[in-house]
Amino acid sequence: MQLEEQLPKQLRDPMPLVWVKPVESSALDERGRFVCPLYKTSERRGTLSTTGHSTNYVLPFLLETGLPPSHWVQRGAALLLGLDD
């Protein structure tokens, strides 16, 4: 029930289905969780919208992890809605 390292030689790992429940941003506690970006495609780029975000960017996901969130930032971890192949 938390983000872990993938198995050796495994580039992608499927994410289980997630129930997205909206809450007030003031009720969120990000401590100890990785703020994982969710993208539509693996390119991680797109044209900038008026909000300053890429059109490919969907939203941030808070994922539980036993490692420091900086570990996943250095790894470039992200969630994708679609794969290239």
Mean pLDDT of 42-68: 80
Q: Which residue has the higher pLDDT, 83 or 74?
A: 74
In angstroms, rounded to a whole number, what is the distance separating the alpha carbons of residues 28 and 26?
A: 6
Q: Which amino acid does the sequence have at 71? A: H
The number of beta carbons lying within 10 Å of the beta carbon of residue 1 is 5
Q: pTM to 2 decimals?
A: 0.79
Rounded to the nearest integer, the mean pLDDT of the chain is 85
Q: Which residue has the higher pLDDT, 21 or 77?
A: 77
In angstroms, rounded to a whole number, what is the distance separating the alpha carbons of residues 72 and 49?
A: 26
Q: 15-54, pLDDT tens digit by residue?
A: 888 888 888 888 888 888 999 999 888 876 667 767 766 7
Kindly give the residue spans of alpha helices, DSSP state H, lying in the chain. Answer: 69-75
Say what percent of the chain tops pLDDT 90: 29
Using an 8 Å Cβ cutoff, are 62 and 30 in contact?
A: yes
